[in-house]
Amino acid sequence: MARRLAIIGGDAAGMSAASTARRRDPDLEVVAFERGPYSSYSACGIPYYVGALFDDPDRLISRSPDEHRANGLTLFMRTEVTAIDLDARRLTVVDRQSGDERSEPFDELVYATGAEAVAPPIPGAEATEPVRTVDAAERFRAALERGGDHQHVVVIGGGYIGLEMAEALVQRNIATTLIEAAPQVMGTLDADMAAHVQDAAEGLGIRVLVGTAVEEILLDPLGAPRAVRAGGETIDADHVVMATGVKPAVALAEDAGIELGPSGAVRVDDHQRCPGHDGVYAAGDCAESWHRILEQPVNIQLGTHANKQGRIAGANLTGGDLAFPGVIGTAVSRLCRYEVARTGISEREAGQADIAVVAAEVKDKTRAGYFPGAGPIWVKLVCEPGTGRLLGGQIVGVEGAAKRIDVLATCVWAGMTVDEIELLDLGYAPPYSGVYDPVLVAARAAAKRIS
């Protein structure tokens, strides 16, 4: 009898594990269960679909169920796993269309259920739908297109997803208010860098309210949002986008006795194995990752980690020996012309973790000052006092600003000091930077501060 691998969750982590395992062991039977209608979709592309950068939602699907099936995988779509029995090696699954329940056996298991939105405890929040899946994005875009001119949308939550959705809306000439309870947008940046993002958002015409808690979402007689009460005012809203954060989807694992770690996500070792449960793996947004700078497990929900962790789980359960090396919190995002990026730890995170740091911020230009189109770029570096080892970086700026974070991420990963970074051999030509790239200028500023 062929061994049977069951995958719970048919997106980035789950299907990377499925494809890798199947490729490495063609005799393995691989069965994936996905409660939604789409497999291997790019949630990352949803804001750009909502913003009408392209019209066909199928372009968000990197591999359809039929394409997976053609590669020898079995996929049960619209099928939810409702219980895991680790001793009996069986899953309880429910066909969401027929309501039929059945039991499915497995030898190995990959738990890849992702993350789920956390709606704040606000009256009316239950009437909103998080735009996290392709079908939800299709419904939201159709509603925008039915709404005609002069719509107003309130986005609740000023993290990168809230900002990307706000960007999508203003690009469609839809009046947009973004409300954030914290004193700044982009909580993953320090306040000084987040202020540049807020300026950029306001420059695009997004009304940004920070330090403002939403008190209530007012509903019309049919139960649809019609206004938001926040900060003492009532803001009319044809639609409300909830982007207030997510938590790892761990209930099913917890019920089965799979251990959670301190971050609240599924505990895994560096091979994506769930400790104490042979043949059980977890990957992606539902699982912990080791943070190489903070030296503790964290739960950072990004597609870039989900794909790699899924691949590693798929390799290891078919006899491989791959370790996931951990994360350093690298992320990029865009707000129309402005780009936002971060890696390592911020000054605030350092303070929270009792790590002493020295920080330096510079403002520079993205091209040689005389070159047409040069725009602003701010680079902030956080480094270890004494040694000058780079612990983190943040970048906000126009054209090409964000991907400079990859240089900083590589330096953080490699443990380089700002002295070493200051003289790195980076490319230069006037259309791309000044003779000293802003990254080098920031490194020099940081080196001066520690000397």
Ligand X SMILES: Cc1cc2nc3c(=O)[nH]c(=O)nc-3n(C[C@H](O)[C@H](O)[C@H](O)COP(=O)(O)OP(=O)(O)OC[C@H]3O[C@@H](n4cnc5c(N)ncnc54)[C@H](O)[C@@H]3O)c2cc1C
Question: What are the catalytic residues?
Answer: 44
Give Cα separations from 220 to 130, 144, 385 (angstroms). 19, 17, 57
Closer residue to ligand X (CB): 67 or 215: 67
355: contact with ligand X by CB under 6 A: no
Quote the Cα angle for 122-137-14, to 5°. Answer: 95
Q: How far is the CB of 126 from ligand X (least distance, A)?
A: 19
Q: How far is the CB of 16 from ligand X (least distance, A)?
A: 8
- Closest by CA to 271, choosing from 258, 260, 287, 292, is 287
Q: How far is the CB of 40 from ligand X (least distance, A)?
A: 9
Closer residue to ligand X (CB): 115 or 218: 115
CA torsion through residues 410, 414, 417, 422, sign: negative
Q: Which amino acid is at 38?
A: Y
> How many chain residues are in contact with ligand X, going by CB under 6 A?
32
Closer residue to ligand X (CB): 117 or 445: 117
Closer residue to ligand X (CB): 122 or 249: 249
The interaxial angle of helices 12-24 and 303-316, nearest 10 deg, is 30
Which residue among 80, 107, 192, 419 contacts ligand X (CB under 6 A)? 80
Per-residue tokens: 119: 């709606």
Q: Give CA–CA dist 344/271, Å, rounded.
A: 22
Calculate the CA 123 to chain-centre distance: 27
142 C-beta neighbours (distance < 10 Å), count: 10
CA torsion through residues 141, 146, 152, 156, sign: negative
Q: Give CA–CA dist 248/235, Å, rounded.
A: 31
Which residue among 6, 11, 330, 359 contacts ligand X (CB under 6 A)? 11
Which residue among 21, 28, 35, 437 contacts ligand X (CB under 6 A)? 35
Selected range binding ligand X among 41-49, 143-151, 167-175, 196-204, rule: CB under 6 A: 41-49
Ordered DSSP codes for 294-353: TTEEE----HHHHHHHHHHHHHHTTT-------B---EEEEETTEEEEEEE--HHHHHHT
8: contact with ligand X by CB under 6 A: yes
Selected range binding ligand X among 11-19, 54-62, 419-427, 439-447, rule: CB under 6 A: 11-19
Q: Give CA–CA dist 35/249, Å, rounded.
A: 13
Q: How far is the CB of 320 from ligand X (least distance, A)?
A: 20
Which residue among 62, 74, 304, 410 contacts ligand X (CB under 6 A)? 304
Selected range binding ligand X among 6-14, 140-148, 232-240, 405-413, rule: CB under 6 A: 6-14
314: contact with ligand X by CB under 6 A: no
- Closest by CA to 306, choosing from 40, 23, 49, is 40
169: contact with ligand X by CB under 6 A: no
Closer residue to ligand X (CB): 110 or 374: 110
Q: How far is the CB of 447 from ligand X (least distance, A)?
A: 31
Instruction: Check: CB of residue 450 under 8 Å from CB of residue 386.
Output: yes
Q: Give CA–CA dist 151/147, Å, rounded.
A: 7
36: contact with ligand X by CB under 6 A: yes
Selected range binding ligand X among 33-41, 138-146, 167-175, 176-184, rule: CB under 6 A: 33-41
Selected range binding ligand X among 5-13, 214-222, 256-264, 343-351, rule: CB under 6 A: 5-13
81: contact with ligand X by CB under 6 A: yes
Q: Which chain residues interact with ligand X by CB under 6 A?
A: 8-14, 33-36, 43-44, 46-47, 80-81, 112-115, 132, 161, 249, 252, 284-285, 301-304, 306
